[in-house]
Amino acid sequence: MAILEIKEYGEPVLREKALPVKEITPEILNLIKDMAETMYTASGVGLAALQVGVPKRIILVDGEEDGLIVLINPVIIKSEGEVVAEEGCLSVPDIYSQVMRSSKVTIKALNENGDPIEITKEDLIARALQHEIDHLDGILFVDRIGRMERQILLNKLKKKK
C-alpha cells in the first residue's frame, strides 16, 4: 500500500471528466487500497480517484458504522430533500463553506467485485457521496456556493500558497 499525493485546487486534473471503469483489474484494486490509505491518513471522509490524479470513476466514502464505501461508476438515481451544511475538501485545504445538498440519495454503482449494487444514504454520508460524485465531473464544492463567497474563499486560499 502507498499514500498517494492529493492534488490541490488549481491542478488541471481536478477539472477533468473521469472515465468509466471498464474492467476491475488488479491495478484498479490496488488503486482503491492506496486511495483508502491516503484518505484515512489525511483524515478525510471521502476521496475520488481524480484527486490522486487518476481520471477514473471511482469514489471512496467513510460510511461510519458501515465501514468504507467503495463505488465504481456511481450514478445518483434518486435524490430527496435539501439541506445546507458545512463542507470541505482534501483538495481545497482549510477552506470550508455551507453547501446545499440533497438530504437523501440512492446511488447505483459497481462494487469492488464488479457486482451491481444500489445504496441509499442520508445526512452526512449522503453529502459526502454527492461531493465525491461531483469530483468525477470536475466539480468542486466551491463551484456550488455564491460567486462573492467563492471569491473570498479563493483569495484566502491564494494567500496561503
- Of 34-42, 54-62, 88-96, 146-154, the window that binds Ni ion (rule: CB under 5 A) is 88-96
Of residues 50 through 79, those in contact with Ni ion by CB under 5 A are: none
Q: Which is nearer to Ni ion, 109 or 128 (CB)?
A: 128
| Vertex 18: Cα angle to 65 and 128 (nearest 5) | 25
The count of chain residues that interact with Ni ion, using the rule CB under 5 A, is 1
Cα separation, 135 vs 141, in Å, equals 9
Among 31, 32, 59, 89, binds Ni ion (CB under 5 A): 89
Cα separation, 31 vs 55, in Å, equals 12
| Contact yes or no for 58/71 (Cβ under 8 A) | yes
Q: If binding is defined by CB under 5 A, does position 39 make contact with Ni ion?
A: no
CB of 132 to Ni ion, least distance (A): 7
132 is catalytic: yes
In 3D space, the residue among 97, 100, 101, 98 whose CA is nearest the CA of residue 156 turns out to be 97
CB of 47 to Ni ion, least distance (A): 7
Residue ranges that bind Ni ion, judged by CB under 5 A: 89
